[in-house]
Amino acid sequence: MSPKDYLFTFNPNNKGLRKILGDLEADVMETVWAKGEVTVRDVYDILKEQRSLAYTTVMTVMSRLAEKGLLKKIKAGAAFLYQASASREDFTQSTVKKVITELLEDFAAPTISQFVETLGDEQPEKIEELARLVEEKRKKRDV
């Protein structure tokens, strides 16, 4: 399973990665992205400074993230090394694409109008960027 295919729950009330991952999953992924290659012990040692948790909890979460396709699990002697399956940027891009695709599939008109309206209200300078991107896409399509 690739990171773009994993199942997630979208919670718009949370911030950042926590909109799509649980708190501990988000903390684990942030740690893996920051360190590159880690063991469960590495992640546990970092996260235990921020919260109370058991080593086995971190191990379970990392195993589940590997099952979901978000982490790669590599046998290294008696231990396992973990790496992110995708960069934070690629993960974010594929997740945003999936959310938008699903919204457009079921609610195309309100999704588009709400996107433009929200962008115009909250980031009016981005409207010109959106218009430029739409025009570029039109030109590519017409070629």
pLDDT above 50 (res 1): no
| 3-class SS letters over the chain | CCHHHCCCCCCCCCCHHHHCCCHHHHHHHHHHHHHCEECHHHHHHHHCCCCCCCHHHHHHHHHHHHHCCCEEEEEECCEEEEEECCCHHHHHHHHHHHHHHHHHHHHHHHHHHHHHHHHHHHCCHHHHHHHHHHHHHHHHHHC
Q: How much is the mean pLDDT over the chain?
A: 90
Question: pTM here?
Answer: 0.79
Domain parsing of the chain, residue ranges: 3-85, 89-142
CATH of domain 3-85: 1.10.10.10
Percent of the chain with pLDDT over 70: 95
Q: Tell me the per-residue pLDDT of 3-41, one tens digit each, with 9 for 90 and over.
A: 556 677 788 888 988 988 989 999 999 999 999 999 999
Q: Tell me the per-residue pLDDT of 77-130, one tens digit each, with 9 for 90 and over.
A: 888 999 999 999 999 998 888 889 989 999 999 999 998 998 888 888 888 888
Average pLDDT over residues 45-60: 96
Would you state the pLDDT for residue 141?
A: 86
